[in-house]
Every structure is written in C-alpha cells, then in structure tokens.
Copies of this chain bind each other. A is one copy, B any other.
C-alpha cells in the first residue's frame, strides 16, 4: 500500500509524466513494477523482446552492443529520471543492445498495455512520448556526427563540455559519470587513447585530471581548442 503511494510519487516526478493527471499516474503505478539491480547485474541481453519499458529512479544503467568477439561498445549511459527501452517496445523487435547496471540501481518497469492506455486517454501524453523519442533520435544523430567527423580529442572535449552543462566560460570541476573504461567506449576510443588524450589536454593546461575528477580551467578555451597544438611549446618551463 505504502509502496503503491511511493510508486505514484516517484512516477509523478519523472520528466515524462509530470503533466499527467493523478488518476493517470495511479493507473500507471498500479501496473508498474519495481526492480532493484546490484552493480554489474544484467537487466536484459541483446536480442530480447521487451513488453514494456524502464525508468531509472536512481543508479546508472549502461546500454551497449556486444559483438560475438567479446568487444563491447557503450551506446548510452542512462541516469536517474531517464527512461529507456521504449523504442524496442514500440518496434516489437529484438533489442540491439544489452542493459547492465553500472551501480546499484532502482528501476521502474511500465508494461506496454498500461502505457498504451495512457496514450489512448491523453493525446498530450502521446505528444510528449513523441517528443521524448525525437530527443533521443536527435542525440543519436549528434553521436553519429561525432563519430564520423571528429577526432578523438574533439570527441572528448565535446563530452566534457556536455558535462559542464550550460556554463559559458570560467573554470568548473566535474566528475566523470563512470569509469574511464566505460567513458572510452562511449566515445568510441580505447582506454589507452582516452588516457593519452586526457594527458595531452593536461599538458596544454586546459584541464587537470585527478582520478575521476576533472578541473576544466576555462570552458571557453576548451571549447575553442581543436587539438592541433600538441603541447609542443610546453618545454619552456
């Protein structure tokens, strides 16, 4: 009972559902299932069919391809309040990615039918789902753009800038959202290359790396850096 109320409140706070009526929320909550994962646990494998979608309440889920040869490529790191699996659910096709918890996490599972019911009753909700998927598509396109026509350094800079949020300039400290191994994969780099690029940016006095914490000296300067100057003039000290 308390659990039900708790679920409703959790759902109501999620971006996707914020404008729903209480009765709608109650409907969704009634069919939503709570899922707890411990770090490293796999939620679903590549190839599975989904009969609903997931919402991350807290924790972190990684979505990745896994090729037969064992190498893995992280597509997305899903954090609190974000949902995933809708596309696979709507398509009724095998999932192209696996989902694995990067840390202990709590999820909600919403069944397809109750989502469809919500769509049927509230077309504004349908529009919001459409907008949500569109955003997802947009960021994937940006990923493709990054992979195709930017260098390793540019990709990392882009990534760091996104972590800094909207700040235009000045210095800012940020924490990498996952291990460097995972970040590297997300950026389509080997861990070795990521390490070298970080090192290189350090030598150019653009950032200071301390474990998972990175101090960006000057956001504006980092944004302008194109990776051309190879810290060559750093010998004069």
User: What's the dominant secondary structure at chain A's contact region?
Assistant: helix
**Chain B hits for A133, CB < 8 A:** 87, 90, 130, 133-134, 137
- Which one of B88, B93, B188 contacts A148 once the chains associate, using CB atoms below 8 Å? B188
Contact in complex: B148, A87 (CB < 8 Å): no
When chains A and B are docked, how far (Å) is the Cα of A75 from the Cα of B146? 12
**A145 x B91 contact (CB < 8 A):** no
A63-93 interface bits toward B, Cβ cutoff 8 Å, 1 = contact, 0 = none: 0010100010101000000000011111101
The segment from A118-126, A156-164, A166-174, A203-211 found at the interface with B is A118-126
Chain B CB count within 10 A is highest, among A73, A96, A140, A141, for: A141
Check if B149 sits within 8 Å of A71, measured CB to CB: yes
Q: Are B73 and A134 in contact (CB under 8 A)?
A: no
**A142 interfacial by beta-carbon distance below 8 Å:** yes
The distance in angstroms between the C-alpha atoms of A123 and B117, with both chains bound, is 9
Closest chain-B Cβ to A73's Cβ sits at a distance in Å of 5
Given pairs A88-B138, A90-B127, A126-B130, 10 additional interface contacts (CB within 8 A): A65-B148, A73-B145, A87-B137, A88-B134, A90-B131, A96-B142, A96-B145, A123-B123, A130-B130, A133-B133
Q: Which residue of B lies closest to A126 (CB)?
A: B126
A140→B147 contact, CB < 8 A: no
Instruction: Categorize the interface residue count of chain A.
Output: 35 or more
Q: Is A182 an interface residue (CB 8 A)?
A: no
Whether A111 is near chain B, meaning CB under 8 Å from some CB there, is no
A116 and B149 alpha carbons, distance in the complex (Å): 36
Which B residues lie within 8 Å of A144 (CB)? 75, 140, 143-144, 147
Cβ-neighbour of A90 out of B88, B93, B130 (below 8 A)? B130
